[in-house]
Amino acid sequence: MFRKVLVAIDGSAQSLRALTTAIEEAKAWKAEVHAAYVIEIGLFSSLPVDNTWEVMYSLLDKEGRDILDGAANAGSEAGVPVTTHLRQGHAGQELLNLADEIGADLIVVGSLGKSGIERLLLGSISSFVVTNSPVTTMVVRE
């Protein structure tokens, strides 16, 4: 039924559970897994465009690459190849854009991300994806 599974990861325990679930679903359906980490550039809109922005972006870029490397390793250990994607922008919209680009037919997200404060400020990414996704979306809870 599912051929391409897109999972959103941010390094939180919840997103790692979402990754595990995506890998399990992919094994069951013999599907591809695509893992996405999105750098929320909206977080920088109030910072002056100087070295501060560059340093913050650089740190998040490195964090994203490390998390995606971990996702690829987790897939490899489970016998499921994981294609990784590092994006920037509004996380929810970027996930939907990527799902469309790769032809995903299942999106897996965690119910919470890294911080409750981010959720209050930015709105829930999982809620945005569930509300706006044209494909089946699975929300992984604890």
| DSSP state, residue 31 | -
Chain CA centroid to CA 69, Å: 13
Q: Given this model, what pLDDT does residue 113 score? A: 58
Tell me, what CATH number does 106's domain have? Answer: 3.40.50.620
Q: Given this model, what pLDDT does residue 30 score? A: 97
C-alpha span between 63 and 41 (Å, rounded): 14
C-alpha span between 109 and 130 (Å, rounded): 9
- Return the higher-pLDDT residue of 75 and 120: 75
**Residue 80 domain boundaries:** 4-140
Number of domains in the chain: 1
Q: pLDDT tens for residues 54-97?
A: 788 899 999 999 999 999 999 999 999 999 999 999 999 999 99
Query: Of all residues in the chain, what percent carry a pLDDT higher than 90?
Result: 70
Is 47 a residue whose pLDDT tops 80?
no
